[in-house]
Amino acid sequence: MIYLDNNATTPLDPRVLEEMMPYFKDHFGNPSSLHRLGLEAERAIKKARERIAAPLKAKPHELVFTSGATESINWGIRAAAKINKRKGKHIITSAIEHSAVLATCNALKEDGYQITYLKPDAYGKVFTSQVLEALQSDTVLVALMHVNNELGVIYPYEELGKKIKVQDPSILFFVDGAQGFGKMPVDLTSVDLYAMSGQKIHGPKGVGALYIKSGIHIQPLLYGGGQENTLRSGTENVPAIVGFGKAAELAYANVEEKRAHIKKLHEALRKGIHGIDNTHINSPIDGIETTLNCAFLGIPGEVLLHQLEEENIFVSTGASCKSGKKNISHVLEALPISNAIKKSSIRVGLSYLNTMDEVEQSIEVFKRIVPQLRNVIPRDSRT
């Protein structure tokens, strides 16, 4: 099996599973219990929080564990929008954010919020100047990605955050870091809230975190026993949190070496695809090395996906939450590119566990099956 859908989810690193196992079996205590089993679990959560905070240069208490990035995004955006609601109800985001961001913003419209959706260029780039020009006197929140999950575009969030704060320090800046954390360095100097996911970095599913900068006071998500600094009550998922902490530690161990390895894979894949007739690369050349979105013109993306599956190669046609739907990804729909490109695009997601041999094998399969498919697909199905 050649797994190239790491933007959707990643296989669990065996070292992560090894560290999680004792908390399923022997150290199963409730972290709120005062006896030894509870204290063991509490210490495990503390260690995980420190592991995740370290590469962020954040204070451990600034991290709240959640069930994943979707929860962190929903909670972070809703809570941040309401902090300054007396000032106004204007939010800025982009048209190619993850559906969790877009759906949350759409839901806030029912509470009277006005949403500005910035339009990207052909490679999915949204520029700092666009954001600054969109700011209004009643803007309370800017919510943007760190890295686009379908195209791999890296947003200039550090520069943007600083310029937003210069223009209006009261505006909160939320960043969806699901595709950035664990894959590249993160600078939270000018970020107020940052969402993360365990499953994107070879950790377990069902766990994530929300970074909340000190001094930002948001409403609790859940009320009850007061866990997670009273912000998210409920007994913590200790094994998953332990796994997330270990995955973060592994991701940032020799992170630049990992990035260099993945970059070589990305470059080889890009070159190999360029060598096939009638192809188009949707991802920018300066995007993150883990993502390559490309189109094989004349072949519907879903058809190619399933043909690759027959070859035991796994890719996607877009965001995992949309892959089962027939419609074109909202990200590609927002780009000023042809419908032929939009309909024939697939996404390849690489990780540090992939090898050059896997990439080379995949290229050979592409070279063999793409001409075959073009010969059998009716022309009226291509556009």
Active site residues: 321
Q: Are 212 and 220 in contact (CB under 8 A)?
A: no
Nearest partner of 345 among 330, 358, 355, 367, judged by Cα: 330
Q: Provide the β-strand partners of residue 208.
A: 66, 197
Q: Are 48 and 245 in contact (CB under 8 A)?
A: yes
CA distances 279 to 56, 282, 307, 339, Å, are 38, 10, 17, 14
Give the number of residues written for the chain: 383
- Residues sharing a CB contact under 8 Å with residue 333, sequence separation 6 or more, in sequence order: 342
Q: Are 151 and 123 in contact (CB under 8 A)?
A: yes
DSSP 82-121: HHTTTT--EEEEETTS-HHHHHHHHHHHTTT-EEEEEPP-
- Pairwise CA distance, residues 258 & 78, whole Å: 35
Sheet (strand 279-281) strand order: 279-281, 291-296, 345-349
Q: Are 279 and 297 in contact (CB under 8 A)?
A: yes
316 three-class SS:
strand
